[in-house]
Amino acid sequence: MIPLHPCYKYRPTRVRDGVGGSTETLGTPTTIYGAIQVDKRETTLIVNADEDVDRNDIIVVRED
C-alpha cells in the first residue's frame, strides 16, 4: 500500500477583473491525501477514487 500524505488542493475559478475581462483566482484550499510520484517526463498524483481532483487543480504538498 502506498502511503498517502496531506496536500492542499486549490481550484482556480474565473472572476471578473473589473475592466471587461476575467482572471483566475485561487480560493480557500481543501486538504486531500495522495502520493506524488516524480518521473523524468511527468509528475503523477495518486489519490483515492472518491477524491475530487480535476486536471487544472493546483496541488501543494503540506509541510506539517
Task: Give per-residue pLDDT as tens, 35-50.
Answer: 989 999 998 989 988 9
Which residues are CB-neighbours of 55 under 8 A, at least 6 positions away?
A: none
**The pLDDT of residue 62:** 86
Whether this prediction's pTM lies above 0.85 is answered by: no
Tell me which residues of the chain have a pLDDT lower than 50.
none
In the DSSP assignment, the letter for residue 56 is T
What is the CB-side half-sphere exposure of residue 38 using CA atoms within 13 A? 0
* The predicted structure's pLDDT at residue 35: 92
For the chain, the structural domain boundaries read 5-61
Q: Identify the sign of the CA torsion 13, 18, 22, 25.
A: negative
